[in-house]
Amino acid sequence: MEDKRPEWSSHISFIIATVGSAVGLGNIWRFPYIMGKNGGAIFLLTYLLLIAFICVIPLCCELALGKLYKKDAINTFKSINPKFKFFGWLCIITVTLIPCFYFVVGGWILNYIWIFLSSKIPDNFTQYFSSFSSQIFIPVLLTLLFLLMTAMFPYRGVNKGIEKANNIMMPLFALILVILAIFAITQPGAKEGLFFMFKPDFSQFNKSMILTALGQALFTLSIGMGTIITYGSYMKEDTKIVKSAYTLICCDTIIALLAGIMIFPIVFSFGVEPSAGASLAFISLPEMFAKLPFSWFFGLIFFILLFFASITSGISMLETTVAAFMDNFKISRKKASVITTAIIAVISIPSALSFGVLSNFKILGKTLFDFLDYFTSNIMLPFNTLIICLIAGWCIPDFWKKVFGESFFGRVCNILLKFIVPIILIFVLVTGI
């Protein structure tokens, strides 16, 4: 066991690590395709309003719970009231299930890095993707490889592992993203792509768009799984909660926007449907890269970008479970990391096979991979967030004063925390199920 709770070595390391957690496949892969499917600019507007005024509340709650209690997710809930321990476990179960599909995508990324690196670029990516993902050995092997690469960092500890990984990978990530975005806006379809992103068509507005936008906002900020509680528990005493929350939101949103600025001009230049969906990153984009001069170069740096984004998020998921196992079972960091890795390995193997031999194995009509994604993102995420808001708002005396202050701003946040955000989340859950 670590004797003393570790602390981020500086405020900036803390911000980089939380941004590393927040910025992931959710920004680069999920956000553009969801925006594409939901009409572009009008979705973006809804999303921005929700993230700035609604999602900031549970984000502040998780940061504050971490800072106030300085414990892992389970013990945080237990310290508030021993009866709440169960909710801590729910967070841990969810955050252990997310990697079981997220890391399968991580394995695909490794495969694409390999094909662009070795210049074995296939002619038809649609065919290539479906034949590759339905194989047995390679997807499983690469999923496990991605898991091991990620697990190395929580294994080495907060400062030597997690902090170092983020401090190196996140700046490289930002650099590659800017290069790709600049390249994209020099393409012939740039104007059309930017119009699609920034010129709202109000006739496309609908109710289900609000739900999708909220789900996306929670997922991209890593809220609802105790991850931010865990990262917040390593926070320095003088770190400001609301300011950190808005810094995180700004960075995450800027990166999601840059991802859109990188993708839509290319999409319009090559005449792909912006609503192509989940296959955008693994079929449409590589197909376009293949047509460019230096195709291997753009393909390679795009997938390295995805790799950095997903590994820093993966680290934060594993760390949440590792911290919980360490504190609850009183075991060492190393042992907790090995156990977490083993559990995830066992579940992600059948999940990686969902596109091939196990494609007929269905839970509620979905393959294991789709079921894990649906169950964690659409049900557990809003549910856990609701519980966190209700507990923080109603069960901890004067919580809002400690977090938001007693000013007018604080009072507004208190009303949002106690009433408005829970009502919206209940609405999302009921409609979602």
Name the site residues for ligand TRP (rule: CB under 6 A): 21-22, 24-27, 95, 98, 219-220, 222, 225, 227, 313, 316-317
- Cβ atoms < 10 Å from Cβ of 343: 16
Using the minimum distance from each CB to ligand TRP, give the nearer residue, 26 or 189.
26
How far, CA to CA in Å, does 173 sit from each of 61, 121, 183, 286, 307? Answer: 28, 23, 16, 19, 9
Smallest distance from ligand TRP to CB 373, Å: 11
> What are the two backbone dihedrals, phi and then psi, of residue 213, each rounded to the nearest 5 degrees?
-65, -40
CB atoms within 10 A of CB 10: 12
Q: Could you give the C-alpha distances from 277 to 34, 140, 141, 177, in angstroms and in order?
A: 7, 24, 26, 21
CB of 95 to ligand TRP, least distance (A): 6
Task: Give least dist CB 415 to ligand TRP, A.
Answer: 26
Question: Which of 95/140 has CB closer to ligand TRP?
Answer: 95
Q: Which is nearer to ligand TRP, 194 or 213 (CB)?
A: 213
Closer residue to ligand TRP, CB minimum distance, 103 or 404: 103
> Smallest gap, in angstroms, from Cβ of residue 412 to ligand TRP?
27
Minimum CB–partner distance for residue 280 and ligand TRP (Å): 15
Q: Which residues of 380-394 are buried (b: 16+ CB within 10 A; e: fewer)?
A: bbbbbbbbbbbbbbe
For the chain, helix, strand, coil in percent to 5 are 80, 0, 20
E strand or H helix at 362: strand 362-363
Tell me the residue type at 116: F
Tell me whether residue 308 or residue 404 sits nearer to ligand TRP (CB atom).
Answer: 308
Of 25 and 245, which has the nearer Cβ to ligand TRP?
Answer: 25
CB of 346 to ligand TRP, least distance (A): 20
Of the pair 115, 248, the CB lying nearest ligand TRP is at: 248
Q: Least Å distance between CB 127 and ligand TRP? A: 28
Q: For residues 25 and 263, which CB has a smaller minimum distance to ligand TRP in the complex?
A: 25
| Shortest Cβ 191–ligand TRP spacing (Å) | 29
186: left (phi over 0), alpha (psi -120 to 50) or beta: alpha
CA distance 84 to 80: 7
Instruction: Please say whether the beta carbons of 255 and 177 come within 8 A.
Output: yes
Main-chain phi, psi angles of 6, to 5 degrees:
-65, 160
